[in-house]
């Protein structure tokens, strides 16, 4: 595995003072040698001046939160991360790699959820480069690699969860924290060889596909009505049970099984009805 090697390049400010001064001094010596008629010495001084001029190509600038990958004829020599004006071997090639935090939103993907329903989903991915050697040498274009693999992870995630579910089953709608955590782990696994760290992932868009949106909305409404009715019935049964127990304990009235059944029926109708019930006054006897 090719890992990043941090290379501390020489201070460019120091070299900026030394090289021009040396170049001027060598040029003056070459001119002096020519005036004295020492041709060979003048040529040597001129060659040295050319070398000093070439050394000026070793200057480069490293910005904050940036790295410069240094290569010598294709051989990786290290990464300069210390910001400022730096100087290194002028034959080094210098490839800039940003270490800043970046984010992007995936395209709206149309996939099928765990139940086969077509849905639209998109996510926001926050990431940064942590290993410049892996980012440059292990993948061809690490930015495009992050985008493509993130979309693949979003597709894989969507097929593993239903859009919505009742009960304890995890779904895309109501378990956003768990879904985001799994999405982050899937993207990190895919980007393990690219020198990239995923900081955060969030689902930014989630909806049924337009062709089934209306039908699924009616299904959601029906499921909500059934769930609400179930809660109403459970509450009504509890209230009726409590009423019968209190009447029996306080001996307000003694009811036989038939009267209890009639009372339970009336109370259930009152408590579970969608509309206000109309009272009926019994003008006869207790039983008629």
pLDDT one-digit tens code per residue, 125-169: 999 999 999 999 988 899 999 999 999 999 999 898 888 776 667
Banded pLDDT at 216 (limits 50, 70, 90): low
Banded pLDDT at 101 (limits 50, 70, 90): very high
Which has more confidence, 82 or 257?
82
pLDDT at 17: 84
Banded pLDDT at 251 (limits 50, 70, 90): low
**Which residue has 């003694």 as its token pair?**
254
Q: How many residues does the chain have?
A: 288
123, pLDDT greater than 90: yes
pLDDT at 16: 83
The CATH code of the domain at 102-208 is 3.30.479.30
Which has more confidence, 237 or 54?
54
pLDDT at 126: 95
Which has more confidence, 17 or 211?
17
**Which residue has 């979309």 as its token pair?**
151
Which has more confidence, 1 or 176?
176
Banded pLDDT at 97 (limits 50, 70, 90): very high
pLDDT at 113: 85
Please tell me the distance from the alpha carbon of residue 56 to that of residue 23, in angstroms, as a whole number: 10
pLDDT at 181: 92
pTM for this model (two decimals): 0.67
Answer whether 197's CB lies under 8 Å from 173's CB.
Answer: no
Banded pLDDT at 24 (limits 50, 70, 90): confident
Rounded to the nearest 10°, the torsion over CA 192, 137, 62, 65 is: -10
**Which residue has 């935090």 as its token pair?**
101
Banded pLDDT at 100 (limits 50, 70, 90): very high
pLDDT at 182: 92
pLDDT at 39: 77
**% of the chain residues with pLDDT over 90:** 30
Please tell me the distance from the alpha carbon of residue 239 to that of residue 246, in angstroms, as a whole number: 11
SS (H, E, C) the chain: CCCCCECCCEEHHHHHHHHHHHHHHHHHHHHHHHHHCCHHHHHHHHHHHHHHHHHHHHEEEECCCEEEEEEECCEEEEEECCCEEEECCCCCEEEEEECCCEEEECCCEEEECCCCCEEEEEEEEEEEECCHHHHHHCCCCHHHHHHHHHHHHHHHHHHHCCCCCCCCCCCCCCCHHHHHHHHHHHHHHHCCCCCEEEEEEEEEEEEECHHHHHHHHHHHHHHHHHHHHHHHHHHHHHHHHHHHHHHHHHCCCCCCHHHHHHHHHHHHHHHHCCCCCCCCCCCCCCCC
> Domain limits of the chain?
10-63+73-96, 102-208, 213-272
Bridge partners for 122 per DSSP: 205
Q: What sign results for the dihedral spanned by CA atoms 138, 144, 150, 152?
A: negative
212, pLDDT greater than 80: no
pLDDT at 104: 93
Please tell me the distance from the alpha carbon of residue 246 to that of residue 187, in angstroms, as a whole number: 60
Tokens of 248: 């029996």
């Amino acid at each position: 595995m090719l890992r990043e090697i941090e290379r501390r390049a020489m201070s460019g400010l120091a070299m900026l003072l030394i090289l021009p001064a040396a170049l001027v001094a060598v040029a003056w010596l070459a001119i002096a040698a020519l005036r004295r008629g020492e041709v060979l010495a003048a040529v040597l001084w001129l060659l040295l001046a050319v070398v000093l001029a070439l050394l000026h190509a070793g200057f480069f600038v490293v910005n904050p939160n940036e790295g410069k990958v240094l290569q010598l004829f294709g051989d990786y020599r290290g990464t300069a991360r210390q910001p400022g004006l730096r100087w290194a071997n002028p034959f080094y090639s210098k490839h800039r790699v940003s270490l800043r935090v970046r984010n992007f939103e995936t395209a709206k993907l149309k996939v099928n959820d765990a139940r086969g329903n077509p849905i639209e989903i998109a996510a926001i991915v926050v990431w940064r480069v942590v290993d410049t050697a892996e980012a440059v040498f292990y993948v061809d274009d690490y930015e495009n690699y992050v985008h493509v693999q993130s979309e693949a992870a979003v597709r894989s995630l969507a097929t593993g969860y239903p859009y919505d579910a009742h009960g304890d089953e995890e779904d895309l709608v109501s378990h956003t924290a768990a879904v985001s955590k799994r999405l982050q782990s899937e993207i990190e696994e895919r980007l393990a060889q690219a020198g990239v760290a995923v900081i955060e992932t969030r689902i930014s868009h989630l909806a049924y596909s337009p062709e089934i949106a209306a039908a699924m909305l009616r299904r959601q409404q029906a499921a909500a009505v059934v769930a609400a009715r179930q809660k109403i019935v459970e509450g009504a049964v509890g209230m009726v049970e409590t009423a019968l127990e209190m009447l029996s304990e306080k001996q307000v009235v003694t009811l036989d099984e038939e009267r209890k059944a009639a009372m339970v029926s009336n109370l259930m109708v009152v408590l579970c009805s969608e509309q206000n019930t109309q009272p009926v006054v019994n003008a006869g006897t207790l039983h008629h």
